[in-house]
Amino acid sequence: MKIVIDARESGTSTGRYVDKLVENLQALKPNFEIVLLAKSHRHEYLRSVAPAFQVVDCNYKEFSFGEQYGLAWQLYGLRADLFHATTVHQPVLYFGPVITTMHDLTTARFRNPSKNRLVFKLKQLIYRWVIKRVARKSVRVIAISGFTKNDVAGYAGIAKDKIVVTYEAADKISEPVEPVLELDGQQFILYVGRPLPHKNLDRLVEAFLLVKQTHPDLRLALVGKRDILYERLEKKVKKQGIGGIVFTGFVSEGQLRWLYENTAAYVFPSLSEGFGLPGLEAMIHGAPVVSSNATCLPEIYGGAAHYFDPNDIQDIAAKITEVLSDERLREDLIRKGYSQIKKYSWAKMAAQTLEIYNQVLKKK
């Protein structure tokens, strides 16, 4: 039996899922021929973590005409017994057996203001149709949280028993600690990620202003590669004369580890997530987590986070202030965080995925 896995996202933030799946599937020594479809620059990495798997060139851009026609033609040529599409992006004209991993429905619901409004709206309408089409034609759908499972079932109109939940996991950074000089010796709260609208950073900035009334020396570190959205936010902050916000831009793994290990609190104000990996990454490095109570986050973080209403700036500020001011609460969150992360494992995720493969192929 031959299983083809779409690994085109390998090396990206979303692609951590497929990278960890491939690495841990290799360790399980599956009794299948595994073929990985990957972009040219990731071949060496994938062969290093999964030498028993075949890596095939596949440079079709996600959500493109090339993907719709070229990738479909490539899949038919490979004669796959099962195709695992690790994202929604896949050729709708491929009619072989497909398992699809759906991470969330964020792109279907939120606009990206860095894109042309009309073009993005058109693409979003097509994307919404693709989600429903893919969910219905897939023999199984993998969701990364119970929330996503229920969300996809309702959105696409499919039975919940068609969807299997396999949780992701967090990894501790092994690179040596490297301080971020601008924050060294400062008390700071931290956010790591992109500044897309659903990440809710505008409200975080407003809440930070309220927190500074009682903690005037506090800093807010916004960590992520500089793009047009971060540049817009930085200009807005400067125009309003808001002090104490540090835009770090891209940081190394060692710097990220230092940030997690030294922050007074990791704050996650998101309005919509499929799993919420950054909060778990903060927990594994000993950071207390103050989180939105939206979508999947209470499911994933359990009792290891201090929750707020992400639409209520006063509540965001109050919960951050409580964690900064109450040492017992901080220590309790850190202790519970270390326990919470033990519930998640990439090895377990891969084993569950392999079981799904077995179940589907037994029916062929």
Residues 289-345: pLDDT tens digits?
999 999 999 999 999 999 999 999 999 999 999 999 999 999 999 999 999 999 999
pLDDT on residue 252 = 97
Whole-angstrom distance, CA of residue 72 vs CA of residue 57: 14
Q: Is the pLDDT of residue 50 over 80?
A: yes
Mean pLDDT of 147-173: 97
- The pLDDT, as a whole number, for residue 100 is 98
Q: What is the pLDDT of residues 196-240, one digit of tens each?
A: 999 999 999 999 999 999 999 999 999 999 999 999 999 999 999
Position 259 scores a pLDDT of 98
Q: Mean pLDDT across the chain, nearest whole number?
A: 95
Provide the 3-class DSSP secondary structure of residue 159. coil
Ranges assigned E (strand) in 207-284? 219-223, 245-249, 265-268
pLDDT > 90? residue 57: yes
pLDDT at 13: 85
**Cα–Cα distance, 36 to 227 (Å, whole number):** 31
At 310-320, the pLDDT tens digits run: 999 999 999 99
Question: Which range (43-47, 125-129, 251-255) has the least confidence?
Answer: 125-129
Q: Domain 2-169+345-362's class? A: alpha beta
pLDDT of residue 14: 86
Contact 306, 322 (CB under 8 A): yes
Provide CATH 3.40.50.2000 ranges for the chain: 2-169+345-362, 188-341
Neighbours of 244 (CB within 10 A): 18
Which range has the worst mean pLDDT, 7-16, 158-167, 277-286? Answer: 7-16
CA pair distance 239, 234, nearest whole angstrom: 9
pLDDT digits (tens, 9 = 90+) for 27-47: 999 999 999 999 999 999 999
State how far the alpha carbon of 132 is from the alpha carbons of 85, 88, 116, 129, in Å.
15, 10, 24, 5
174-189 pLDDT, tens digit per residue, is: 999 999 999 999 999 9
Residue-level pLDDT at 62: 86
Is the entire prediction scored with pTM above 0.85?
A: yes
246: pLDDT confidence band, cut at 50, 70 and 90? very high
* Residue corresponding to tokens 């620059």: 41
| pLDDT of 65 | 83
pLDDT at 112: 82
Tell me which DSSP letter residue 189 carries. E
Regarding the domain delimited by 188-341, which CATH topology (the fold level of the hierarchy) does it fall under?
Answer: Rossmann fold (3.40.50)
Q: Please list, in sequence order, all residues whose beta carbon lies within 8 angstroms of the beta carbon of residue 346, skipping any fewer than 6 positions away.
A: 20, 21, 23, 24, 168, 169, 171
Q: Which tokens is 276 given?
A: 């919420």
